[in-house]
Structure 1
Amino acid sequence: RHSYVRYLTTRKHIFNFLKFKYDLEDIPLRSLTMKFMTDFTFYFFTVLRLKVSAYNDYLILLHKMTRLALKKHILKRDPFAGHKIEKVPVNHRHLNREQFEKLLNAKLPTYRLCHTRDLFVFSVFTGIGRADLANLTEDNIVTKEDGSKWIHIARQKTKAECHVKLLDIPLRIIEKYKGEGEDGRLFYVPQTCNLCRSLKIIAEQCGLGCHLTFYQKRHSFACLALANGVSMEIIARMLGHSDIRTTKIYAKVIDKSIAEQIGGLAAKFGSQK
């Protein structure tokens, strides 16, 4: 659904740009040129006054559409071949020990906020994304010979196998919300927009001093694991990354002071939850 909305928004921007630049409502695909892409980019920057990070996604989707036209032999050449999307440095935010401790121990006033907090905490300890969390069922919980329980899933986004050991806190969260999901799913997971609204309130009530998003829990999980000596290869498998270069991004945000702050975090919080 999110991808569908992005494509609709891209179509709207293309339509508005054609009216603004050429006073047209549509043009043939074969009329696309590199100058079109340059002018389209300039339109985002000057007329709409968007930042690079805000309009890059629309340019990427336009690239995808022309490549699809090439595959279907609608176009004979890629009109944007050689065009480079401007890269923007990304700040991969994560919670430090103090922030996570506040979040974990906060006495929140409503069930909705507690539920959102627990889903976030579960994802911090497992690295599982929202879509995979929403589809998690009892069949994904595997008990090993030593009695430990593991999550075995293929990530929805990359189809990569993902194996994660369940520690005490995520096991208790599963037990707490067992049966709330539909069609055998372990959890009821709200839409991303609703999660974000709840997380904004939670961040304010906990005094975290940051903009809290649901995706941030994957960054926090990776940083937590790296700081506690888990190898890059294992983290990549737990996160379901198909390319270890994606995992290496998280290593860049870890320094000695962070590692010292969150060392032994899982053991400490196991007795507090």
Structure 2
Amino acid sequence: MKTTNTFGVHFLIRQDKLKEGKAPVYARITVNTDRILIGLKQWIDPKSWDIRKGAGKGAKDEVKSLNNYLSEVRTEFGECYRELQLKKKVITAADVKITFLRVEEVEHTLQSLFKFHNEREKHKLNENTLSHYLTTQRYLSEFINARYHKKDLSLKDVNFKFLSDFENFLRDYQPKKNKKPIGNTGAMTHLIRLKKMLNLAISLDWIGKNPFFGYRIKIRHEARQYLNKTELSALEAKTFALPRLDYVRDLFVFCCYTGLAYIDAINLTRSNIVVGIDNGLWIKTKRNKTLIPVNTPLLPKAVAILKKYETDYRAINNGTLFPLLSNQKMNSYLKEIADLCVIDKNLTSHIARHTFATTVTLSNNVPIETVSKMLGHTKIGTTQIYAKVIEQKVSDDMAVLRNKLG
């Protein structure tokens, strides 16, 4: 008894995967009602594509070249199908694909995925950010070794249970020496990076579905510490006998009035200070962490601190606006400063950035959109975390409302 199969090849583009204005070309193989897509690693402007004919349109050389290639591919698919017919087996679209590729599909793993990402992104991400991905990769390796007694795991084995078990592993992780436990935010951050990796795997056609579908990443935003108006004033007014503490205080206060992170402030040069549209001085730089542009008008207290150090030989010799100081030393000295100023908070360089967002700007009715722009945030939701913690602002706003209603 002879079985008749229907076989067809149609070419199409995926406009949902546009890259630099061009769409990838796919071959759709149909055997009876069975279909499968194969990426051909060819790209074309959607305007130059004839959807009905499944081919490029126009007289451009690149379109003609693509159509010639598609014609050859169609012929090769036909040969693959006839080759399978001679074996007298039930033919599926996947069989045609494997025969066309001539090799079994490579088994992709978590480690190979991270390796691909890190190699691809090493020139785009700064060293700090890249190291965070390496940390997530290390935790994954430890988890896989502990749970599966393997060094690596196929992406096919990454499922909902894997994610749940990995989350529990992170929450229960016992760090060595004096390091702090990972905590909820840390665990969720590692899962967010893993989710990004698996989305990349989908884009590469290494997996068909993201295991994170339906998985909830539960981030509990902890209250950001910052200095209130009284604490900031006390810090500014304090006289220090030690020059190192005086300098650290100045650098910290400068960050309080500019919103810059430590690394962005310490790397400032004269070229980063420009005249803005209001004819005043502005900081024009990029965040070291994300390379997002930051344009911030300089407040008078920040200008005064810059003038204080414009003749400092240590800064001049280094070509920066401030003398060099490691973040580790700055945080160590800030502990001393907090004690001397009777500030009962774990003072770190990043609290200055939080103080700018809360006490200096949002509390003084600077619109949250403006604050978000000056902080270099890509999402306003990140800035809204600061808006939630300003009790004094809530109190002041309600006082105004009481007067209106009274």
TM-score past 0.5 threshold = yes
Other structure's SS at 2:187 match: helix
Letter in 2 for 1:38: S
- Post-superposition offset of 1:161: 4.2
The answer to whether 1:219 aligns with 2:219 is: no
Please give the residue correspondences for 1:57-206 in structure 2 after superposition, counting only pairs within 5 Å: 57-143=189-275, 148-178=280-310, 180=315, 184-206=319-341
Other structure's SS at 2:284 match: strand
- Post-superposition offset of 1:105: 2.2
Other structure's SS at 1:242 match: coil
Letter in 1 for 2:159: T
In structure 2, the partner of 1:264 is none
Change (3 A) 1:82 1:142: same
Structure 1 Cα separation of the partners of residues 262 and 316 of structure 2: 14
Structure 2 Cα separation of the partners of residues 11 and 235 of structure 1: 34
- Post-superposition offset of 1:247: 2.7
- Post-superposition offset of 1:254: 2.0
- Post-superposition offset of 1:145: 8.0
1:232 paired residue among 368, 391, 396: 368
In structure 1, the partner of 2:159 is 33
Change (3 A) 1:147 1:67: closer
- Post-superposition offset of 1:158: 4.8
Change (3 A) 1:52 1:141: same
Other structure's SS at 1:83 match: coil
Structure 2 Cα separation of the partners of residues 21 and 97 of structure 1: 50
Change (3 A) 1:197 1:232: same
Structure 2 Cα separation of the partners of residues 193 and 120 of structure 1: 13
Letter in 2 for 1:111: P
Other structure's SS at 1:215 match: helix
Letter in 2 for 1:24: K
Structure 1 length as normaliser, TM-score? 0.82
1:50-103, Cα deviation, whole Å (9 max, x unpaired): 531232222222222222222333333323233221111320221012211222
In structure 2, the partner of 1:6 is 132
Structure 2 length as normaliser, TM-score? 0.57
Structure 2 Cα separation of the partners of residues 52 and 18 of structure 1: 20
Stretches of structure 1 lacking an aligned partner (at least 5 in a row) = 261-273
1:197-248, Cα deviation, whole Å (9 max, x unpaired): 2222222232200111222112211222222232223323322333333333
Structure 2 Cα separation of the partners of residues 248 and 44 of structure 1: 27
- Post-superposition offset of 1:39: 0.8
- The two structures, once aligned, show a CA RMSD in angstroms of 2.7
In structure 2, the partner of 1:266 is none
Aligned 8 A contact 2:129 2:289 in 1: no
By relative contact order (CA 8 Å, sep 6+), the higher-ranking structure is 1
The answer to whether 1:42 aligns with 2:42 is: no
Aligned 8 A contact 2:258 2:298 in 1: yes
Structure 2 Cα separation of the partners of residues 163 and 32 of structure 1: 43
Other structure's SS at 2:349 match: coil
Larger Rg: 2
1:174-194, Cα deviation, whole Å (9 max, x unpaired): 123236166633224534333
Greater Cα shift, 249-258 or 199-208: 249-258
Other structure's SS at 1:142 match: strand
Change (3 A) 1:238 1:29: same
Change (3 A) 1:76 1:93: same
Structure with the largest fraction of strand: 2
